[in-house]
Structure 1
């Protein structure tokens, strides 16, 4: 037979639930008459080996032996004792020689108790009709007909267990083959207890919301495709001359030219004004014009030094690297 464990191993995990006859089914699955198991709460964990594969079987207590307030607790416990979850759940419905017609209340109770594990449980369920010795075919068919609603829920997967003692190997293999077929049909999947299932859903939803927020953020702030923008701006800030850097040079050239023009203008003006008195008057006028030009130039230099330079401070020159 092929490997059935979803992790690629060889372990088969089974939980047996019902109102009675669970112990008979455990013996059949493990192919042994004397069982040794570990009790956890009111559940019992059995382990064995079949066809070279390890089998873990959890036997849940019969519903008729539990107080109503303990039923859900023990049912939930049973599916948690074979982590990460059972591959198959066997729902046992007893078929007794003294029972006659099947009890409708018992069938309804089976459906109600299985529903405590959520509707997902039916995907992994096989109904086992555990018969006493001597039960006729007609009685078995009546029980199967009464369980029609449950059979519809679990895909009509069922097995009739007719002996009270361990079955021959061929009969045991029939039940195991149906379990293997169920696991194959579920692609190696197993039933996840509701608490773990809700946690997985919560984590999946949180991961989806985080991914959605990231996508929305990338749409609101699209990436810049101009990789050289920063370098270009930096280069431009270094190489582009600022208007204020050229002002001191232009102003200095203007100062020199102004002084020369003032000297020449003062000398000419003084000479012209003193020429009416002859040569001596022209010389005196020339000297007077030069002195006046010097005073006027000094006044201009004072204005430049104390007013213009403070209004336009000289910018430091950047050295090229």
Structure 2
């Protein structure tokens, strides 16, 4: 991938059934819980996930595991809109996730906090589409964290009552969304 980044090369693999592993890339803002999501998916503490007011993940990190008898590779990326680094520098690092997930990701999990959708979250979606191209939306799933905040409400009901801008983002991602409670990391029903 030397030289200029080619957005068209992001999603080359079309027949995913022949792939020996599922490759998932975690993307989103700083502090939304991407690393914790990676740990929840893999059912172990591979990614550094601590409470901090500064970005913890500074480089793409790939970890492997077996999930429901399927080999899975999870790539954690630095958060967009980090307060300590220019966004251009972060975007260059995020592009590396394509190399790390060679030959390319099967899914981008756009991680967002359940209780928060601001203009910055919307800009995050736009930045990711700029980085990976419009085609990436076909492979993007919104993954909400802080599922414990639902307090008995279903994620479907939450989305039905969500802000129109959030609904628009979900629609742009093919209506795909899910919720995790990272505090119940070992709950495999998630």
TM-score by length of 2: 0.72
Q: Structure 1's 42 and 103: CA in aligned 2 closer, same or farther, altered over 3 A?
A: same
Partner of 1:114: 129
1:122–1:153 CA contact under 8 A, matched in 2: yes
Query: Which residue is 1:23 aligned to?
Result: 35
Q: Paired residue for 2:10?
A: none
- Counterpart CA distance in 2 for 1:109 and 1:170 is 29
Tell me the C-alpha RMSD between the 2 structures.
Answer: 2.9
- Change in CA separation of 1:91 and 1:47 when aligned onto 2, cut-off 3 Å: same
Which residue, 159, 177, 187 being the options, matches 1:158? 177
Decide whether aligned partners of structure 1 residues 158 and 7 sit closer, same or farther in structure 2, where only a CA change above 3 A counts.
closer
Specify which of 35, 41, 46 is matched with residue 35 of structure 1: 46
CA gap of 1:159–1:132, structure 2 versus 1, over 3 A, is closer
Q: Which residue of 1 aligns with 2:94?
A: 75
CA distance in 1, matches of 2:134, 2:163: 21
Where in structure 2 are the equivalents of 1:36-115 lying within 5 Å? Answer: 42-65=59-82, 66-96=85-115, 102-115=117-130
Pick the aligned partner of 1:130 from 145, 149, 158.
145
1:258-304 C-alpha deviation (Å, 9 max, x unpaired): xxxxxxxxxxxxxxxxxxxxxxxxxxxxxxxxxxxxxxxxxxxxxxx
Contact 1:95 1:143 in 2 (8 A): no
More strand by share: 2
Cα pair distance change 1:106/1:13, threshold 3 Å: same
5+ unaligned residues in a row in structure 2: which ranges? Answer: 1-13, 49-56
Q: Deviations over 1:220-260 (max 9, x none)?
A: xxxxxxxxxxxxxxxxxxxxxxxxxxxxxxxxxxxxxxxxx
TM-score, scaled relative to structure 1: 0.45
Shift of 1:116: 1.6
Q: Which runs of 5+ in 1 are unaligned?
A: 172-321
Match of 1:8?
18
Distance 1:21 1:87 in 2: 20
Task: Write 1 or 2 for the structure with the bigger share of helix.
Answer: 1
- Runs (4 or more) in structure 1 with deviation over 6 Å come to none
Higher RCO (C-alpha 8 Å, min separation 6):
2
Larger C-alpha radius of gyration, 1 or 2?
1
